[in-house]
Structures are given as structure tokens and as C-alpha cells.
Structure 1
Amino acid sequence: MNTLKHPLKTTREVSVWQLTAKIVVLAGVLMAYSYCFLLTISSMLKLANG
């Protein structure tokens, strides 16, 4: 562990990685929700038209 050598740098990198991971997870969840939403709307439109 090099936390004793560069504590500020490592904590900053860790916080940046945590922020990036949160953004990636949020984007993935939003994409999954929108994809399911579009699939549901398209299936409902197909049922309404058919």
C-alpha cells in the first residue's frame, strides 16, 4: 500500500474513480430504463394498431 507516501493523491484518485463509477452506473441505469420504456411503448403501439 502506498497510502502513507501519497495520501492526498491516492484519496483524490479514489474519489475521482468513485465519481466516475457513479456516473457510469447512473448512465447505465438510465439507458436500461429508457430501453425498457421504449420497448413497452412499441409493444403497446403494436397491440393498439394490430
Structure 2
Amino acid sequence: LGTTQHWRDAATKKEQDIIFKETGIHWSELLHLPYWDPTCSMVVDGMHNLFL
């Protein structure tokens, strides 16, 4: 959650864009929900599924 909070607290849109380009992660209001686990709620595409 550290990176998502860093993205959320960025001072400018440009800074948010830089963080997103480096990490591919951004803030979501769903992160406030205690029962929502972002690692379990992702869809894995077919190509990357072969590596699991």
C-alpha cells in the first residue's frame, strides 16, 4: 500500500504520472475496504498465467 499512498499524496498530476510509469500502480478507493485484497482480485491474462 505504500506506493499507492505515495501516488495518492503526490503534489501534481505529472508526479502521479511518473510514479505510475515506474510502478504501474495507483490509488483506488477500494483499498479502504478491509475485505478487499487487490492481489486476489486481479485477472491474470493467458500468457502470464503460464508462469504461475
Work out whether the TM-score is over 0.5. no
- Structure with more helix by fraction: 1
> What band does the TM-score fall into relative to the shorter chain?
under 0.3
Greater relative contact order (Cα < 8 A, sep 6+): 2
**Higher radius of gyration, 1 or 2:** 1
